[in-house]
A and B are shown apart, each in its own frame.
Chain A
Amino acid sequence: KDEEAIAYSQYPRPADTPQVNSDVPDLKDVKVMGYSLRSWDYRYTLWLGYNPKTFQVNVSDVHAGELYILADDPGEDKNIYSDLEQSVVIKKLSTLP
């Protein structure tokens, strides 16, 4: 009961840059999956390589990351992932199931 409440979401992409089918890629075209976890305090997202034939995500194939600290940045406009990439927080979050 004392665990922090977390919500998960995900979104597929066909490529690392926006293209005409980026909004709604067909499953066969999905190359990257963005997995988000969000709490009261932050939203952390990793964009990971994804194989649509096996439905497998490659957790070591990190295409990009996002981290927003919502108390300072409620609109999610200041992505500080790069600033904190090597930090303890990121390492801890990356080990979550």
Chain B
Amino acid sequence: RGRRNVLFIMADDLRPSLGCYGDSVVKSPNIDQLASKSQVFLNTYAQQALCAPSRASMLTSRRPDTTRVYDFNSYWRDQSGNYTTLPQYFKSSGYFTASVGKIFHPGISSNFSDDYPYSWSIPAYHPPSFHYEKKKLCKGDDGKLHVNLLCAVNVTEQPGGTLPDLESTEEAVRLLKSWANNDAPFFLAVGFHKPHIPFRIPQEYLSLYPIENMTLAPDPNVPEFLPPVAYNPWTDIRGRDDVQKLNVSFPYGPIPKDFQLRIRQHYFAAVSYMDAQVGRLLSSLDALGLADDTMVVFTSDHGWSLGEHGEWAKFSNFNVATQVPLMFYVPGITIPRDQLGESTFPFIDILTQPKYRFKNDKVRRNVVELVDVFPTVASMAGLRAPEHCADVSFQEELCTEGDNLAHTFRRRERG
């Protein structure tokens, strides 16, 4: 192979509540292991804390004012310009590109096709069990099934005996196996649905976070001098059966403290569940002998407020809503080739292996943005990074409004 493959992993609504970002509560051993062999950007920010605009922005490397995608009802190729996406760029460079799970926001904002065939060599895969995500499948205290926010389940009792991210992992592994012996390089994007609400997750992950160990956000009240326009009333969680029962006042709440603790417990458990899927995926990459010529990118579309400022959502400009994890594993660069052992990413089952320790060797503290991802991934994979856009670039199909961070991989951080 002349070029590096790319495994591009995205979580949904994941703030940097991860061990590798210094969080002492969250258990994320597999992402921490990836971070220990990656360059980790500690201060990365999304351009808008909403799925469709953020993903369109990151994947085209244009800011929302250039994509003109601010909601769920616009497709950038119709709305603003025929911009080239990150996967499209790889596809046009000879890569086989595939999307598993949620990479583009589905629906209107990706032309009901996840931007296929522009971006992908084959139609995007969506896990069939996602169909049930908003159905009455969560057992309530009354023993009946509800559409709840808090929805830890026995997976064997769910339709099909599975959950969306489990299915996405299986499909991604299946694709990796089918490509393991191909000569053509691949760009595989895997978008996990968690820790996005509802917290429909395997119930065993809750046991990692005993409720008596949970704490409230350090600043759980709406700040006194916050302008009302800056506040979001987190309407999406208010519609869930279990939250409706709380009779929380609109728009400021608050949510009762015991329920706040349970939301935080479920979010952290959802992170650990998603981490396990990342671990399954990376250990398969490893087992197939692909870890030494595949770069791995891990990030999220935006963050989520876990009670900070009295909010329970993204939908704002607060750091907790806009900050995301970002790391790049580039074999031979973020880890010397002679340190690539037989097993680079052994799966760590946090349910049975609670003790682990990793150290981040390469971190960058300077502020970066998700619009930087496109030129950086292209460059680190061995392709030419797009040129910087002109001030007005609606007619330019290929350019970037971000910075190519490739130079940061070899130079010491300044300032």
Cβ B365 vs Cβ A10 within 8 A: no
Query: Min CB distance, B15 to chain A, in Å?
Result: 13
Cβ A10 vs Cβ B319 within 8 A: no
Cβ B232 vs Cβ A77 within 8 A: no
Q: Which residue of B lies closest to A52 (CB)?
A: B70
Q: Which of B313, B318, B368 has the most chain A CB within a 10 Å cutoff?
A: B318
Query: Min CB distance, A64 to chain B, in Å?
Result: 3
Whether, in the assembled complex, B71 has its beta carbon less than 8 Å from a beta carbon of chain A, the answer is yes
Cβ A24 vs Cβ B315 within 8 A: yes
Q: Which residue of B lies closest to A31 (CB)?
A: B229
Would you give the 0/1 interface string for A1-37, flagging 1 where the beta carbon is closer than 8 Å to chain B? 1101111111111011111101111110010101010
Bound together, the chains give a CA A39 to CA B63 distance in angstroms of 18
- Determine the main DSSP class of B at the interface with A: loop
Give residues of chain B (369-415) contacting chain A, Cβ–Cβ below 8 Å. 369, 414-415
Q: Which of A1, A10, A20 has the most chain B CB within a 10 Å cutoff?
A: A10
Q: Which of A40, A65, A80 has the most chain B CB within a 10 Å cutoff?
A: A40
Cβ A10 vs Cβ B227 within 8 A: no
Complex contacts, A76 vs chain B, CB 8 Å: 223, 309, 318-319
Would you give the 0/1 interface string for A39-73, flagging 1 where the beta carbon is closer than 8 Å to chain B? 11001010100000001000000011110000000
Bound together, the chains give a CA A7 to CA B317 distance in angstroms of 11
Q: Which residue of B lies closest to A34 (CB)?
A: B317
- Determine the main DSSP class of A at the interface with B: loop
Complex contacts, B252 vs chain A, CB 8 Å: 18
Bound together, the chains give a CA A77 to CA B414 distance in angstroms of 29
Cβ B233 vs Cβ A18 within 8 A: yes
Stretch at the interface among B20-28, B39-47, B129-137, B203-211: B39-47
Q: Which residue of B lies closest to A3 (CB)?
A: B415
Bound together, the chains give a CA A2 to CA B231 distance in angstroms of 35
Bound together, the chains give a CA A12 to CA B54 distance in angstroms of 13
Bound together, the chains give a CA A47 to CA B415 distance in angstroms of 30
Complex contacts, A63 vs chain B, CB 8 Å: 227, 229
Query: Min CB distance, A43 to chain B, in Å?
Result: 7
Whether, in the assembled complex, B308 has its beta carbon less than 8 Å from a beta carbon of chain A, the answer is yes
Bound together, the chains give a CA A79 to CA B232 distance in angstroms of 16
Check A79/B46 contact, CB under 8 A, given A11-B316, A25-B71: no
Bound together, the chains give a CA A36 to CA B65 distance in angstroms of 13
Whether, in the assembled complex, B212 has its beta carbon less than 8 Å from a beta carbon of chain A, the answer is no
Bound together, the chains give a CA A45 to CA B69 distance in angstroms of 20
Cβ B232 vs Cβ A12 within 8 A: no
Cβ A38 vs Cβ B230 within 8 A: no
Task: Indicate which residue in B219, B235, B308, B415 contacts A2 across the interface (CB closer than 8 Å).
Answer: B415
Query: Min CB distance, B231 to chain A, in Å?
Result: 5
Cβ B223 vs Cβ A10 within 8 A: no
Whether, in the assembled complex, B266 has its beta carbon less than 8 Å from a beta carbon of chain A, the answer is no
Complex contacts, B48 vs chain A, CB 8 Å: 9-11
Complex contacts, B299 vs chain A, CB 8 Å: none
Complex contacts, A91 vs chain B, CB 8 Å: none
Cβ A75 vs Cβ B70 within 8 A: no
Would you give the 0/1 interface string for B210-249, flagging 1 where the beta carbon is closer than 8 Å to chain A? 0000000011000101111111111110000000000000
Check A75/B365 contact, CB under 8 A, given A9-B47, A18-B251, A20-B235: no
Query: Min CB distance, B313 to chain A, in Å?
Result: 6
Query: Min CB distance, A59 to chain B, in Å?
Result: 13
Whether, in the assembled complex, B50 has its beta carbon less than 8 Å from a beta carbon of chain A, the answer is yes
Complex contacts, B88 vs chain A, CB 8 Å: none
Check A66/B219 contact, CB under 8 A, given A23-B232, A40-B43: no
Cβ A43 vs Cβ B319 within 8 A: yes
Check A79/B227 contact, CB under 8 A, given A6-B367, A10-B64, A12-B70: yes
Bound together, the chains give a CA A8 to CA B225 distance in angstroms of 22
Whether, in the assembled complex, B61 has its beta carbon less than 8 Å from a beta carbon of chain A, the answer is no
Bound together, the chains give a CA A55 to CA B64 distance in angstroms of 11
List 21 A-B residue pairs with CB atoms under 8 Å apart, sorted by A's residue number.
Answer: A6-B367, A7-B44, A10-B63, A11-B49, A11-B316, A11-B317, A12-B70, A12-B71, A13-B229, A17-B228, A18-B231, A18-B232, A20-B235, A20-B250, A22-B233, A23-B232, A24-B71, A34-B230, A39-B367, A55-B68, A76-B319
**A-B pairs with lowest CB-CB distance, top 8:** A64-B227, A18-B251, A7-B45, A79-B225, A5-B367, A36-B317, A23-B315, A5-B366
B residues with CB within 8 A of A:
43-50, 63-65, 68, 70-74, 218-219, 223, 225-236, 250-252, 308-309, 313, 315-319, 322, 365-369, 414-415
